[in-house]
Structure 1
Amino acid sequence: MKILIAEDELVSRKKLEILIKSIGYEPLVASDGEEGWNLWKTHRPRMVLTDWMMPGLSGPELCKKIRNAEGSRYTYLIIVTAKHDTKDIVRGIDQGADDFISKPYVKEEIEVRIRAGERVIGYEVRDLVIFSLAKLAESRDPETGNHLERMRYYSRALTEAIRGMENTPEEIDAFYVENIFLSSPLHDIGKIGIPDFVLLKPGHFDDNEFEIMKGHSRIGFETLNEAINKYPKAEFLKMSADIAHYHHEKYDGSGYPDGLSGENIPLSARIVALADAYDALVSRRVYKQAVAHEMAKSIILREKGTHFDPMVVDAFLICENEFIQIRNRFKE
């Protein structure tokens, strides 16, 4: 990632340049605010470190110009300053700054502030990736549309219910709940690689067609794994890949693609498995009628410990009224 440094004082400028390089980023260096503005327009870096007091164009003025011109591609703006007055900080924020670093600073503080900014930028990348992939799946799969919306809300409801239970798995926190809401619509992304004669067939599959359809879990995993190779720290991509790969596994080991059982199946996939099955039951398809909620509930209870994780089924019972509301809200 490129980081723009705008600093009129030579020693401070060199110090920041060396520091930015040492922590693995590419510095773009400007000796004043006007040069910084021109460099930003040319290179559009995602992050800016700017001094406050500079001739011509001050740091807050540079922030304001960038903020007005950035469009939909967010730039994270940090002002480096010796000013500590609350009024000055308020002014800087009002001009568009995201963060402040007080002089004198140390390397560790600069690095932490940059990492924080990188996380903010990462949220934008995450949402764009998920939206683009989900829309790609929607363009191929005749059973998406509101199915994707219902899936994400069902999955979140289940996860929040589990979070409120005793002996909650350690991995479930607020961040996990957010990630499953965002990632669950990608569960069938692998259907982009299934041929039309199978994907669009208006009826049940024969054995050969079913084998082809089962390949969507592998295709989905491989598709998302390519993205993980480019963004290895992106938790949501790892969760998306797990969900795509394993949401057809069954708790007793009779599912596919790998015949995993119990807690060997990632928790996110166990949650989405129930959400997906419920939506399939209560939704009308070309080859079947929708069943009522109570019938779907009885089927899920019957398959507790075989198809479904018992803990996830217990969570479903806690939030079943929410499932009904979600189903009504996102009817086809």
Structure 2
Amino acid sequence: MTKVLVIDDDPVSAEMLRGTLEHFGYEVQYECDGVEGFERIRSGEYSIVISDWDMPGMRGDELCRMVRDRQWSGYIYFILLTSHGDMAHLVSGLRSGADDFLVKPFHPEELRVRLRTGERLLAMESRDVLLFTLAKLTESRDNETGLHLERMREYGRVLTEELSLWKEFKDEVDGDFVQMMYLTLPLHDIGKVGIPDSILLKPGKLTTEEFEVMKQHAAIGGNTLAAAVEVNPHAKYLQIARDIAYYHHEKWDGSGYPFGLAGDNIPLCGRITALADVYDALTSKRVYKDKFSNDKAKSIILEGSGRHFDPRIVEAFLANEERFLEISRQLDSSHAKAEAPPLVPATV
């Protein structure tokens, strides 16, 4: 439950605001002046603050300026509540760092809309931090994963951008879906954190028994992210991340894992990730194989169309083959430059 701090020296106004917020499902705390309100904010418990403008001791815009002048662990969404609707107060409030304004008397639905705006902004900050942290966790288990993640999200973006132009996907694939895929696709193998090093880092081909253990990473990753979805069921990015982790090893003909889903029963994000993952595995050097040429990788993907891969995703890949090649070349080149030893001047 989101905690909101209300700061208002008018007890009647504050009580009305408290009642409205609690009706909307928020947990509310109340302070009657800016000084005490700032001490409450320092507790770190509140990500949304609603403050009256006119208060004894410290005005709301002054309080907001104090909040903005201090470094916090997370962003604080600040709404100024005022009876002044003139431009001078608006400009002053914006300069102090306020995110939004409510003019008294306000309509409850207007307050609800403004709070939702704040929650969306806060969720985006939390989203990006969470995704970055989880992706780095995945990377820490495998020396090759970092570059793999970079290529994977670029391949995924190319495929989703292509599908966004297709009439049959217009209701599912839009700019927001493209962005969510780009952000969450690096989490496809997050479940590998649960695979023993003796198998995950084995310098050779896995035995049948070892491969069965390795296959568990899809369920481990999916279950982990599914737990996050239960806590925040409205977070679309977590739903997509969960589905990518669960379903990127499912196959179009139903022979994949962990659930053996087939055709359109496999979420689209999983079908897209499946092709990107295989292409990158084929065209990258691994301890158990050499790097395949693009032509060989393409022939393998074509053979898998209708069996391993959704034929439409294969078509999207073929339409953007040059973009895949360019992504691979650019990232490989930048990686090589980063690893190159520094030039040492010749000595006489």
TM bucket (normalised to shorter chain) is over 0.9
The secondary structure found in structure 1 opposite 2:128 is helix
**CA–CA separation in structure 1 for the residues paired with 2:153 and 2:87:** 42
Distance 1:26 1:143, change over 3 A: same
1:15 matched to 2:16? The reply is yes
> Matches of residues 206-225 of structure 1 in structure 2 within 5 Å?
206-225=207-226
**CA–CA separation in structure 2 for the residues paired with 1:94 and 1:220:** 44
1:248 to partner: Cα distance: 0.5
**CA–CA separation in structure 1 for the residues paired with 2:165 and 2:217:** 33
> Matches of residues 1-332 of structure 1 in structure 2 within 5 Å?
1-331=2-332, 332=335
Distance 1:10 1:220, change over 3 A: same
Distance 1:169 1:308, change over 3 A: farther
Aligned length: 332
The secondary structure found in structure 2 opposite 1:223 is helix
CA contact (8 A) 1:142 1:200 kept: no
- Please report the TM-score for the alignment, with normalisation by the length of structure 1: 0.95
**CA–CA separation in structure 2 for the residues paired with 1:163 and 1:115:** 28
- Structure 2 residue identity aligned to 1:42: S
1:167 to partner: Cα distance: 2.0
1:123 to partner: Cα distance: 1.0
The secondary structure found in structure 2 opposite 1:78 is strand
- Structure 1 residue identity aligned to 2:319: I
Structure 1 counterpart of 2:344 = none
**CA–CA separation in structure 1 for the residues paired with 2:228 and 2:302:** 37
Deviates more, 1:292-301 or 1:229-238: 292-301
1:76 to partner: Cα distance: 0.6
1:169 to partner: Cα distance: 4.5
1:103 to partner: Cα distance: 1.7
- Structure 2 runs not aligned, ≥5 long: 336-348
1:141 to partner: Cα distance: 2.6
**CA–CA separation in structure 1 for the residues paired with 2:331 and 2:60:** 47
CA contact (8 A) 1:141 1:191 kept: no
Higher RCO (Cα < 8 Å, 6 or more apart):
1
Once the two structures are superposed, what CA deviation does each residue of 1:251-290 show, in whole Å capped at 9, x if it has no partner?
1112111211110000000011111111111111111111
1:218 to partner: Cα distance: 0.9
Deviates more, 1:30-39 or 1:295-304: 295-304
- Percent identity, aligned pairs only, is 48
**CA–CA separation in structure 2 for the residues paired with 1:134 and 1:256:** 22
**CA–CA separation in structure 1 for the residues paired with 2:238 and 2:167:** 28
- Structure 1 residue identity aligned to 2:86: D
**CA–CA separation in structure 2 for the residues paired with 1:210 and 1:193:** 14
- Structure 2 residue identity aligned to 1:292: S
**CA–CA separation in structure 2 for the residues paired with 1:283 and 1:90:** 55
Once the two structures are superposed, what CA deviation does each residue of 1:65-117 show, in whole Å capped at 9, x if it has no partner?
11121434100111122222234323212211111122211211111211111
The secondary structure found in structure 2 opposite 1:79 is strand
